[in-house]
Structure 1
């Protein structure tokens, strides 16, 4: 329940919305999510850049025992799209504890063969990610599924949509942010993507860094806090190579006239795109499977500019849990802490533990 049209449009993309979903709930349990931007009509306060919010009275309350989320005063995605971090991680991790499964800040991907060797190569090349699922397949080989947990704005979407440069290899995306995992009857760990869309960081995303993401958000997508060119194109830092006219005038994310070379930024450092996952050219055929996909490897990472090896390998699954719990990462624009402070972030879940 929300009073924000922006939240409604984003949630239609990020979640599975239909009458069939409503019917399937029936009289069963569900998590109640109540959101308000905190600006009841008639609006008497000054509205900056058409962005309704009430930062002085912002409050986000999670009530795990009651299965409720209350959010007031904020339009920020993490505080207003309550199906994401608030439910799918904080409340879901509480439900998972009670029911014997896991809700993790992870991507899931599919990949194929020479898993140990090439997994290290992927991590060293991309540096860090928050969490996603993907499948990787070598030429004529068997597909392996990898779950990866990295803090926010550290590259998990780029990893989930990786394009191999080695001929014959294939990577397919299952999810780029949140993974729900449970052991199956065969004793294997399975992971699924509870979301229906991608809520990715814009700055740094381009046809050079993530062509699959760019292909995904060509339609049915929402861009938040980015610049708009005089030609009606979206723009942010990092996509200079994709701009048709580098001298074009723009309106930046603050609503001010701007062009490349001017002071300030075109887009907010945490500007976002919201786009349907089904539009991704490399989305895995089983990305919506209620069973999930079998997890063959887990990667933990973080943004560490100096002082640590690019890649280390744990001695066992048990040791890997220990290593993941000891992760530290540099704060980003998606975190509440500013600057280059390196902080503990166990399993990339520090802001989301329920």
Structure 2
């Protein structure tokens, strides 16, 4: 049976017609293979329609992965207590046998694929699988990279609709020419709080050769939202091969005298202030996390890979972060994750106002002084608690630059991180080579709560 025939037999007629409308045999083969492997009870194919996006929103609440909050458009999602950050130890790059990459956690490709396929066999049994199409970078531009996500988590699908540009029509337009990235995710078996249960079998495997990312038994966005840091590993490889840059950088506009506009990129590790820097109130934000940079007629042109913010919420307060604060307290579509909730309102660490002494958070029912199994006191919200929101919600967003097909001219780069005892707070390079080599490439930063493990080293 060929892939399209399999999909016709497996999917409901309406869902099959959505797939048949895309003339791409490679896509059909990919979908048939992994729908068969994951073996869901139901498959929903997302187009670019508002109705399909609304369906995903409803299912996130219906399946218990999100809950509505008091303010319209706001929901809360909880990850498991031990599933709160990127799992670097179980994130592996799959490479051909005998290949080693210094400082990178690699695994033999054939061995890795065998293991992840076995883990994911029938993993979506009894659940609904969402097939979602997106693009990285502005649509129909030099930056555009199509991507398809399979996930049995409505929360993951909902997050991606907020963070990325819809891509179903792009897949239809490109047809067989679509050179797309592929992401396969399952949260696995869920516990009574609808969080991933089998953390011991958590895996994030990145198949560079197949341009496919596999993520199993986890819900935390950094492990599951395929188009974010997971796609970043794939786009770096493409960039090296094709002669451009895929960078972990914010992109912002600095406004000078007489209407001067200069665009800067900036790269800091997670939890080191990228979002706060990009949100300086008197400047303009284009993106807070990932940037593609291409050489266009001798100019470095940059574009935001995303269209939303998956930001760390700890420390966001009205005085230091007035714009973010305003957005988080307005009726925008926002997913809060791993915060404290009391009477339908979200609270987080260091928010600058009194925090209730009890409520619900990532540990379940919470009270001040509660300790975990290891004897550690549990804070109101996790250090890596997040908010997910579209850039359209920000009054300081440069929306024209966000969707510019040719991106914007890069006028400078900022390198930064957490360092309390080695370097002065700010240094300026003598020239590009001096900055990139002696500052950017040589810079070290303390570890943070954005990854599992010890902080501050």
Please give the alpha-carbon distance, in whole angstroms, between the structure 2 residues aligned to 1:213 and 1:239.
12
The question of 1:100 aligning with 2:269 is answered no
- Number of the residue aligned with 2:199: 55
Please give the alpha-carbon distance, in whole angstroms, between the structure 2 residues aligned to 1:247 and 1:63.
45
Please give the alpha-carbon distance, in whole angstroms, between the structure 2 residues aligned to 1:175 and 1:134.
7
- Number of the residue aligned with 2:169: 20
The question of 1:283 aligning with 2:397 is answered yes
The question of 1:304 aligning with 2:419 is answered yes
Question: Could you give the per-residue CA deviations for residues 195-246 of structure 1, whole angstroms, max 9, x where no partner exists?
Answer: 011000011112222122223343201011000012x1100011133x5xx5
> In structure 2, the residue corresponding to 1:329 is in which secondary structure?
coil
Please give the alpha-carbon distance, in whole angstroms, between the structure 1 residues aligned to 2:416 and 2:452.
19
Return 285-294 or 2-11, whichever deviates more.
Answer: 285-294
Aligned length: 298
> In structure 1, the residue corresponding to 2:382 is in which secondary structure?
coil
Query: Which has the greater radius of gyration?
Result: 2
Offset of residue 50 of structure 1: 2.6
Return 55-64 or 210-219, whichever deviates more.
Answer: 210-219
306, 327, 332: which one aligns with 2:448: 332
The question of 1:177 aligning with 2:327 is answered no
Q: Is the 8 A contact 1:61 1:70 kept in 2?
A: yes
Please give the alpha-carbon distance, in whole angstroms, between the structure 1 residues aligned to 2:318 and 2:303.
27
Question: Could you give the per-residue CA deviations for residues 134-189 of structure 1, whole angstroms, max 9, x where no partner exists?
Answer: 001134241111110000011110011102xxxxxx4100100001001111x111
Change (3 A) 1:183 1:233: same
Please give the alpha-carbon distance, in whole angstroms, between the structure 1 residues aligned to 2:446 and 2:420.
8
The question of 1:195 aligning with 2:306 is answered yes
13, 26, 29: which one aligns with 2:179: 29
256, 259, 274: which one aligns with 2:365: 256
What 5-or-longer segments of structure 2 have no aligned partner? 1-149, 372-376
Offset of residue 54 of structure 1: 2.3
Please give the alpha-carbon distance, in whole angstroms, between the structure 2 residues aligned to 1:249 and 1:340.
29
- Number of the residue aligned with 2:318: 207
RMSD, aligned α-carbons: 2.0
Q: Is the 8 A contact 2:269 2:445 kept in 1?
A: yes
- Number of the residue aligned with 2:106: none
Q: Is the 8 A contact 1:153 1:201 kept in 2?
A: yes
Please give the alpha-carbon distance, in whole angstroms, between the structure 1 residues aligned to 2:197 and 2:339.
18
What 5-or-longer segments of structure 1 have no aligned partner? 108-132, 164-169, 342-354
- Number of the residue aligned with 1:224: 337
* Length-normalised TM-score, structure 1: 0.79
Please give the alpha-carbon distance, in whole angstroms, between the structure 1 residues aligned to 2:203 and 2:154.
20
Offset of residue 339 of structure 1: 2.6
Q: Is the 8 A contact 2:339 2:385 kept in 1?
A: yes
Please give the alpha-carbon distance, in whole angstroms, between the structure 2 residues aligned to 1:312 and 1:64.
36
- Number of the residue aligned with 1:237: 349
> In structure 2, the residue corresponding to 1:328 is in which secondary structure?
coil
Please give the alpha-carbon distance, in whole angstroms, between the structure 2 residues aligned to 1:325 and 1:147.
15
> In structure 1, the residue corresponding to 2:166 is in which secondary structure?
coil
